[in-house]
Amino acid sequence: MPQTPDTSPSDRSPPDRSAADAVWRDYCAATGVDPGSRCDVYAFGDSPALADELLTLVLDGPKRATAGLVSDYERDQEELPVVGIHSIVLDGRGEPRCVLRTTDVEVKPMNQVDERFAWDEGEGDRSLSWWLDAHRRYFTRTAAARGETFDDAEPCVFERFELVWPKTD
């Protein structure tokens, strides 16, 4: 199980979208989704190893949620997720591996996360205490790397999603 939680968007450079664009075109052609609709592209976490570890949790089933600080979205000038958008998730090498569809988004202080969300995120032992400890450590570490501080009362984006491509049925 991962020892470090994910955040989206990650602290890495924007990905090369060419391979992701090809996956998006294939997905839209197969499903009838409008290819002009919003599709975000990202990798989980802040390292290739963590991206692969968390992607495996998505592909194998327990991970159906992700969390990120609102300040990270603002700093990266990225739109917050909304229900119905799609995201292409990259592996640690930057290759597109799956398409997700956002099913729920809630913005509230990080320290107001609930047990159900911690379970849905699918990391560690899936408990609230594990989630809080791991995310406090992660957000503190990534903030320090940017010369900033972290307070667990900061607004956080709690996003739930479903895996829509590749089909797992």
Q: Is residue 88, in this structure, part of any structural domain at all?
A: yes
CATH number reported for the structural domain that contains residue 152 in this entry: 3.10.400.10
DSSP string, 14-60: PPP-HHHHHHHHHHHHHH---TTS-EEEE-SSSSHHHHHHHHHHHHH
Two tokens, residue 26 = 């294939």
Whether residue 12 lies inside any domain: the answer is no
Region 100-109: what's the mean pLDDT? Answer: 98
Q: In what order do the strands lie in the sheet with 155-165?
A: 39-42, 86-90, 96-109, 155-165, 65-69
How much is the pLDDT for 115? Answer: 98
> pLDDT tens digits for 60-98?
989 999 999 999 999 989 999 999 999 999 999 999 999
Name the domain count of the chain: 1
Domain carrying residue 123: 18-165
pLDDT, tens digit, 9 for 90 and up, residues 143-162: 898 899 999 999 999 999 99
How many of the other CB atoms lie within 10 Å of CB of 134?
19
Question: pLDDT (tens digit, 9 = 90+) per residue, 6-56?
Answer: 544 444 445 568 999 999 999 999 999 999 999 999 999 889 999 999 999
User: Within a domain: residue 13?
Assistant: no
Its pTM surpasses 0.85: yes
Query: What integer pLDDT is reported at residue 9 of this predicted model?
Result: 44
Query: What is the structure's pLDDT at 168?
Result: 55
Task: Let me know if residue 2 belongs to a domain.
Answer: no
